[in-house]
Amino acid sequence: MNQEMKVIDVDIHNSLKSHMDLIPYLPEPWKSRVAGSGLGLPGHGYQSPIGVIRNDCRPPSGGPAASDPEFLVKDLLEPFHIEYGILTGNLMGVSTMHDPDHAAAISSAYNDHLVENWLEKHTQFRGSILVSAYDPLLAAREIDRMADHPRMVGVIMGSGQRALLGQRQFHPIYEAAERHGLSVAIHPGTEGAGGSNPPTASGYPTRYLEWHTSLSQNYMAHLTSLVCEGVFEKFPRLKFVLLEGGIAWLPHLMWRLDKNYKGLRSSVPWLKRMPSEYIRDHCLFSTQPIEEPEDPKHLISIFDMIDAENILMFSSDYPHWDNDVPTEILKRLSPEAKRKIYYENAKALYHL
Amino acid sequence: MNQEMKVIDVDIHNSLKSHMDLIPYLPEPWKSRVAGSGLGLPGHGYQSPIGVIRNDCRPPSGGPAASDPEFLVKDLLEPFHIEYGILTGNLMGVSTMHDPDHAAAISSAYNDHLVENWLEKHTQFRGSILVSAYDPLLAAREIDRMADHPRMVGVIMGSGQRALLGQRQFHPIYEAAERHGLSVAIHPGTEGAGGSNPPTASGYPTRYLEWHTSLSQNYMAHLTSLVCEGVFEKFPRLKFVLLEGGIAWLPHLMWRLDKNYKGLRSSVPWLKRMPSEYIRDHCLFSTQPIEEPEDPKHLISIFDMIDAENILMFSSDYPHWDNDVPTEILKRLSPEAKRKIYYENAKALYHL
> Is residue B331 very low, low, confident or very high in pLDDT (cuts 50, 70, 90)?
confident
Instruction: Choose among A120, A91, A119: nearest CA to A19.
Output: A91
> Is residue A1 very low, low, confident or very high in pLDDT (cuts 50, 70, 90)?
very low
Q: Using an 8 Å CB-CB cutoff, list chain A residues near B198.
A: 197-198, 201
Asked if A138 contacts A97 with a C-beta cutoff of 8 angstroms, the reply is no
Q: Tell whether the model's pLDDT for residue B147 goes beyond 80.
A: yes
In sign, the C-alpha dihedral spanning A262, A268, A269, A270 is: negative
Rounded mean pLDDT of A250-269?
98
- CA distances (Å), origin A267, targets A28, A97, A187, B179, B203: 47, 33, 29, 46, 20
pLDDT digits (tens, 9 = 90+) for A104-149: 999 999 999 999 999 999 999 999 999 999 999 999 999 999 999 9
pLDDT digits (tens, 9 = 90+) for A240-256: 999 999 999 999 999 99
Of all residues in chain B, the percent with pLDDT exceeding 90 is 94
Secondary structure (H, E, C), chain B: CCCCCCEEEEEECCCCCCHHHHHHHCCCCHHHHHHHHCCCCCCCCCCCCCCCECHHHCCCCCCCCCCCHHHHHHHHHCCCCEEEEEECCCCHHHHHCCCHHHHHHHHHHHHHHHHHHHHCCCCCEEEEEECCCCCHHHHHHHHHHHCCCCCEEEEEEECCCCCCCCCHHHHHHHHHHHHCCCEEEEECCCCCCCCCCCCECCECCCCHHHHHHHHHHHHHHHHHHHHHCCHHHHCCCCCEEECCCCCCCHHHHHHHHHHHHHHHHHHCCCCCCCHHHHHHHHEEEECCCCCCCCCHHHHHHHHHHHCHHHCEECCCCCCECCCCCCCCCCCCCCHHHHHHHHHHHHHHHCCC
Q: How far is A12 from chain B (nearest CA, A)?
A: 21
Q: What is the pLDDT of residue A3?
A: 66
How many alpha carbons lie under 13 Å from residue A64 in its C-beta half-sphere?
15
What CATH superfamily classification does B21-349 receive?
Metal-dependent hydrolases (3.20.20.140)
Q: Using an 8 Å CB-CB cutoff, list chain A residues near B199.
A: 201
Whether B197 contacts chain A with CB within 8 A: yes
Give the nearest chain B residue to A260 (CA atoms): B209
At residue A11, the 3 state secondary structure works out as: strand
AA letter at B92: M
pLDDT digits (tens, 9 = 90+) for A154-203: 999 999 999 999 999 999 999 999 999 999 999 999 999 999 999 999 99
Whether B323 contacts chain A with CB within 8 A: no
Cβ of B251 within 8 Å of Cβ of A291? The answer is yes
Q: Identify the burial level of A61 via C-beta atoms within 10 angstroms of its C-beta, where 0-12 means exposed, 13-18 middle and 19 or more buried.
A: exposed
| Best of B162, B213, B266 to mutate (most A CBs within 10 Å, chain A) | B213
Q: What is the pLDDT of residue A5?
A: 87
Q: Using an 8 Å CB-CB cutoff, list chain B residues near A260.
A: 209, 212-213
Q: Tell whether the model's pLDDT for residue B1 goes beyond 50.
A: no
Give dist(CA B108, CA A308) in Å, integer.
51
Cβ of A221 within 8 Å of Cβ of B200? The answer is yes
Q: How far is A148 from chain B (nearest CA, A)?
A: 31
Chain B residues 250-279 with a CB less than 8 Å from chain A: 251-257, 259-261, 263-264, 266-268
Instruction: For residue A5, give every residue at least 6 positions away whose Cβ sits within 8 Å of its Cβ, in sequence order, or none.
Output: A81, A326, A338, A339, A342, A343
Chain A residues 35-54 with a CB less than 8 Å from chain B: 48-50
Give the nearest chain A residue to B228 (CA atoms): A210
Whether B327 contacts chain A with CB within 8 A: no
Q: Is the peptide bond before A319 cis (omega within 30 degrees of 0)?
A: yes
At residue A82, the 3 state secondary structure works out as: strand
Instruction: For residue B272, give every residue at least 6 positions away whose Cβ sits within 8 Å of its Cβ, in sequence order, or none.
Output: B233
- Rounded to the nearest integer, the mean pLDDT of chain B is 96
Q: Tell whether the model's pLDDT for residue A4 goes beyond 80.
A: no
Whether B321 contacts chain A with CB within 8 A: yes
Give dist(CA A167, CA A184) in Å, integer.
15
> Is residue B322 very low, low, confident or very high in pLDDT (cuts 50, 70, 90)?
confident
Asked if A271 contacts A230 with a C-beta cutoff of 8 angstroms, the reply is yes
Give dist(CA B308, CA B327) in Å, integer.
18
pLDDT digits (tens, 9 = 90+) for A58-91: 999 999 999 999 999 999 999 999 999 999 999 9
Give the nearest chain A residue to B260 (CA atoms): A209
Cβ of A224 within 8 Å of Cβ of B205? The answer is yes
Cβ of A257 within 8 Å of Cβ of B213? The answer is yes
Neighbour count for residue B31 (Cβ, 10 Å): 16
Q: Where are the domains of chain A?
A: 21-349
Give dist(CA B51, CA B64) in Å, integer.
13
AA letter at B130: L
Give dist(CA B311, CA B282) in Å, integer.
9
Q: What is the pLDDT of residue B4?
A: 74
Cβ of A257 within 8 Å of Cβ of B159? The answer is no
Cβ of B214 within 8 Å of Cβ of A224? The answer is yes
Instruction: Choose among A236, A242, A269, A198: nearest CA to B207.
Output: A269
Instruction: For residue B211, give every residue at least 6 positions away whose Cβ sits within 8 Å of its Cβ, in sequence order, or none.
Output: B44, B46, B191, B192, B199, B205
Whether A301 contacts chain B with CB within 8 A: yes
At residue A191, the 3 state secondary structure works out as: coil
Q: What is the pLDDT of residue B3?
A: 66
- CA distances (Å), origin A68, targets A26, A55, B33, B226: 21, 14, 68, 42
pLDDT digits (tens, 9 = 90+) for B245-295: 999 999 999 999 999 999 999 999 999 999 999 999 999 999 999 999 999
Whether B216 contacts chain A with CB within 8 A: yes
Instruction: Choose among B180, B2, B176, B171: nearest CA to B79.
Output: B2
Asked if B318 contacts B71 with a C-beta cutoff of 8 angstroms, the reply is no
pLDDT digits (tens, 9 = 90+) for A195-240: 999 999 999 999 999 999 999 999 999 999 999 999 999 999 999 9
pLDDT digits (tens, 9 = 90+) for B95-140: 999 999 999 999 999 999 999 999 999 999 999 999 999 999 999 9
Asked if B255 contacts B293 with a C-beta cutoff of 8 angstroms, the reply is no
Cβ of A49 within 8 Å of Cβ of B228? The answer is no
Give the nearest chain B residue to A257 (CA atoms): B213
Q: Using an 8 Å CB-CB cutoff, list chain B residues near A199.
A: 201
Chain B residues 65-124 with a CB less than 8 Å from chain A: none
Cβ of A202 within 8 Å of Cβ of B197? The answer is yes
Q: Tell whether the model's pLDDT for residue A13 goes beyond 90.
A: yes
| Best of B44, B207, B210 to mutate (most A CBs within 10 Å, chain A) | B210
Q: Tell whether the model's pLDDT for residue B202 goes beyond 50.
A: yes
| Best of A204, A212, A231, A252 to mutate (most B CBs within 10 Å, chain B) | A252
A187: enclosing H helix or E strand: strand A183-187
Chain A residues 156-195 with a CB less than 8 Å from chain B: 159-167, 191
Q: How far is B24 from chain A (nearest CA, A)?
A: 34
Point out the residue among B50, B209, B256 whose CB comes nearest to the CB of A213: B256
Q: Is the peptide bond before B289 cis (omega within 30 degrees of 0)?
A: yes
Cβ of B49 within 8 Å of Cβ of A266? The answer is yes
